[in-house]
Structure formats: structure tokens, C-alpha cells
Amino acid sequence: MGLARILSSTLDRRRRLEPEELRKAVPMANPAVKVVSESDSGLILEAPLQVSTNRWIAGMARILKQPNTKRFELEPVGAFVWKSIDGSTSFEGISRKLREHYKMSRVEADAALGAFLQMLAQRRLITLWIRGARPSHRRR
Amino acid sequence: MSPEKQAAFRWQGFEVVLPEDCAPVSLIGDRREGYCRFGSPGSVGFQVRWKETKHPGRLKDSLFAYFRILQREARKAGKTFESDLEETDCGIAYRWRAHAKAQGQLFYSSICGRVFFLELLGDRKDSLALYRRISSTFRSSDPAGPDRWTVLGLDVRFPAPVQLEKRTFQAGRTLLEFSAKGFRAQASRWGFGEQLAERHGLAEWAAAALALPGPAIRAEDPDRVAWEGKPRFGWNSLALVRLDRDQNRILALKASYRKPQWRPEWDWLES
């Protein structure tokens, strides 16, 4: 193991998800995110933007009429996944639905779903609830 | 590894049928020498190693060399290494148990002149009962005969052996690039085939995804599109695109060729 990797693993205490944990993890939608329109071509989500605590920046944002929400457009497959995120269906359950509905292989469904959920999580539209996970892991 | 659904894997002149949840995690080498490893959601994996040889008589030496490496690893892990081997009609069947455990076979294929190592590997607690079923599906093909490649939903065949130049595996897309004398081809498989065709139209989608210039694209039927380019410097170009509704995928083959025997046919994309 290289020095950079040792340092990185020491400083970054985020736990890497094991595949088995990921399968059992339950994606949960951010309650602040709303579906604003829905059609055959997908759906549009609206999420509130974080307001800066800095008075100057917040004032400038108001003067420049910066929007306080952001919209995300999901295409039909993304919309299908979003509708499957009900707070009780696990990653494995959603993957199974994808496989049945879109005739995908397990490997392909897992890979596509993993990448899509990661993208949603990066945009703070969802969070993954991992059963039995200890909350003591510090996030950077 | 779940044995419920199975999928064939054809690569570098051999084929094996594996549980559908197995995916290649390492693909190294060419037809002469190489290695494939398949991972599964659990800790069980399958590996194939092959090497072209003219002197297949020393299978046992190769196996003992492998065991010596495993013994060293077991010593480092503080485990004892146990092995068991049996000479069979076609090679050597073996098992070993140390920090992990495995069941495998080492044999020479006179069809293609290569020595193959097949091994199902898992943690000490894992069952390796699937090994017999997997190894019974293993076949190697005649190096002068037709060549078929099947991986992650892509299935393409050629009338003669081709060389793999490049591979790209992405979620929803598998792309292999091949070459032979006077022949170059890109074979690709796209997921969500019906959704793509419905949204964009198969011909329009194919023109954009495969960068097919000009109006030379023609729909042979609702699920098949062909494109033929103008010959340039003795090279002809042809693309075939097929929507497979049963598996919700699009299979595409875009080829440049000099001789007519390399002109792609629809049955090259039939599963």
C-alpha cells in the first residue's frame, strides 16, 4: 500500500460499502424534494437550494434574484427508479423491478442502478439507509 | 453465485456457461495466453487461465508450481495448506484448502492446442457444488473455425478467428473492437433497446450512436436497420443494427472489409 493510500485511508473514515450491504440498503428520498410534473417522457423534481449563512452572499443572491429551488429532469427509466424509492424497497428490490420491467440482466441492473443512485445521492436527492450501520463513522 | 439463471461467456476461442450474476472482473491476454476472472455478489469466483503450448506433458509441474504459490500465501495467513489431486482421462482434477478453498481442473485441449486451468474459488465456508456444472459446459473451439464472442449481453460471431483490439464495458453498453486481415469491426450491445427505439426511432438512433454519415441508412424491417458506405481505397463499410425485443437490447455491428467473405451478415448478430 502506497503512502498516499495509507494517508487517505487514515484521514477519510468513510466506510466503503460492501456489495452485500448495498443490496440490503434502502434508498430514501429527501422529503424536501417534490415531483412537479410527470409525463410519459419522465418526471421533473424540484429541490430547495441551500441558503448561504453569509449575509453578504445571501443579500447578493436576493438582489440578483437567484432561484431558491433547482429542478432535475429524469428520463423514463430514471423516473421508474424514482417512483420505486418508497422508503421501504431495498436496492435489491428496485434492481429486481428493473430486471423484470426492462428485461435486464442482474449485473447490468445492479451497475446501472448503483450509478444512478450514486448520482442522486451526490445531488442530495436521496440518502441510503443501511440496516445495522453504526452512526459513529465520522464524515469528512 | 446463484444457479437459477445462466448465461454463456464466449471469449478467445472458448466458452463456458456461468450463473447470470457472474460478471467478468478481469480479462487479460489474447488467444495464445490469458486469464479471465469472474466475480459474483458473494465471495465465490471462477477463473480460467489458458496458454498455448506444444508440449502438454507437464501438467503436473504447472499444478505444483501453482500449489507452491498458494502454500506461501497460506503460510503468511497462518493457515495450513491441504490439497488433493486426481489424474483423469483429460487432465488433472484438484482441490485445495487453506485461507480459501477451490476446486479446479487442469487439462490440455487438443482442439486448440492450449492448456486450460479452470477453478472455482471461494471462502472456506462457501459451497463449491456449482463447479461440476460449470466445468461440464466448458468448450474450446477450433482455431481455424468460426469465432463467437459473448459477453455481458453482446453476442456476435465471425466466419473466421478475429483478434480483439479493444473492449469497453459500461452500464448499459458493451463494446468490442475486432480486427483480422482486411477486416475491422465494432460490435456493440445497448440495453433499454425498446425504450431507445421508441424514443428516437431505430434508424435515427443508429445513425447518431454509430456515427453513420449520409442518407445511406435503410430500415429492412421495424427491428433491423442497415447502412452501407461508399467504398474507399478498396475498403467497404457496412453497419447492421438489430433490435432484440426479447432481451430488450440493441445489437450493432459496424465493419470495414476488403474481401467479400468478411461482409457482415444478419446471422452474425443472431443469438
| B168 Cβ under 8 Å from any chain A Cβ | no
Nearest to B21 among A20, A107, A112 (CB): A107
Rounded to two decimals, the pTM is 0.82
- Inter-chain contact A102–B41, Cβ cutoff 8 Å? no
Q: Is B146 helix (H, G, I), strand (E, B) or coil?
A: coil
Q: Is B94 helix (H, G, I), strand (E, B) or coil?
A: strand
Average pLDDT over residues A37-53: 84
Question: Regarding predicted confidence, which is higher, A20 or B43?
Answer: B43
- When pLDDT is cut at 50, 70 and 90, the band that residue B20 belongs to is confident
- Inter-chain contact B153–A23, Cβ cutoff 8 Å? no
DSSP B97-114: ESSSEEEEEEEEETTTTE
- Inter-chain contact A115–B7, Cβ cutoff 8 Å? no
CA dist A127 → A7, A111, B218 (Å): 27, 18, 46
- Inter-chain contact A104–B21, Cβ cutoff 8 Å? no
**Burial call B30-56: b when 16+ CB within 10 Å, e when fewer:** ebeebebbbbbbebbbbbbbbeebeeb
User: Is pLDDT above 70 for A7?
Assistant: no
User: Is pLDDT above 90 for A15?
Assistant: no
Chain A residue set in contact with B, beta carbons under 8 Å? 19-20, 23, 41, 76-77, 102-108, 111-112, 114-115
Locate all alpha helices (DSSP H) within B24-136, ordered by sequence. 59-76, 130-136
Closest CA–CA distance from residue B211 to any residue of chain A (Å): 23
pLDDT for B171 equals 80
pLDDT for A113 equals 92
Per-residue pLDDT of B68-84, as tens digits, reads: 999 998 898 888 999 99
Average pLDDT over residues B143-166: 93
Average pLDDT over residues B131-151: 91
pLDDT for A6 equals 64
The alpha carbon torsion through A78, B242, B217, B163 (nearest 10 deg) reads 100
Closest CA to B1 of B149, B103, B148, B150: B103
Of A117-126, B56-65, B132-141, B213-222, which range is least confident? B213-222
A-chain CB neighbours of B18 within 8 Å are none
Q: What is the mean pLDDT of chain B?
A: 90
What is the Cα–Cα distance from B77 to B99, expressed in whole angstroms? 7
- Say which residue the cell 426479447 belongs to: B246
Q: Of the ranges B2-16, B189-203, B206-220, which is most confident?
A: B189-203
Closest CA–CA distance from residue A18 to any residue of chain B (Å): 10
User: Is pLDDT above 60 for A136?
Assistant: no
Nearest to A112 among B41, B153, B172 (CB): B172
Beta carbons of B245 and B223 less than 8 angstroms apart: yes
Average pLDDT over residues B231-244: 91
Average pLDDT over residues B239-248: 93
- Inter-chain contact A106–B20, Cβ cutoff 8 Å? yes
User: Is pLDDT above 80 for B219?
Assistant: no
**Phi (first) and psi of residue A22, to 5 degrees:** -60, -40
Complex ipTM > 0.90: no
Residue in chain B closest to A116 (alpha carbons) equals B171
- Inter-chain contact B191–A112, Cβ cutoff 8 Å? yes
Closest CA to B147 of B92, B187, B205, B117: B187
- When pLDDT is cut at 50, 70 and 90, the band that residue A140 belongs to is very low
- Inter-chain contact B192–A102, Cβ cutoff 8 Å? yes
| Interface size, chain A vs chain B, as Cβ–Cβ contacts under 8 Å | 41
- Inter-chain contact A105–B153, Cβ cutoff 8 Å? yes
Residue in chain B closest to A21 (alpha carbons) equals B41
- Inter-chain contact B152–A107, Cβ cutoff 8 Å? yes
What is the Cα–Cα distance from B47 to B104, expressed in whole angstroms? 9
Q: Cβ-count burial of B216 within 10 angstroms (0-12 exposed, 13-18 middle, 19+ buried)?
A: middle
B-chain CB neighbours of A76 within 8 Å are 195, 199
- Inter-chain contact A105–B195, Cβ cutoff 8 Å? no
Residue in chain B closest to A92 (alpha carbons) equals B41
Closest CA to A132 of A30, A14, A15, A24: A24
Closest CA–CA distance from residue A77 to any residue of chain B (Å): 9
Which of B44, B173, B188, B192 would you mutate first to test chain A, the one with the most A CBs within 10 A? B192
Nearest to A115 among B5, B41, B171 (CB): B171
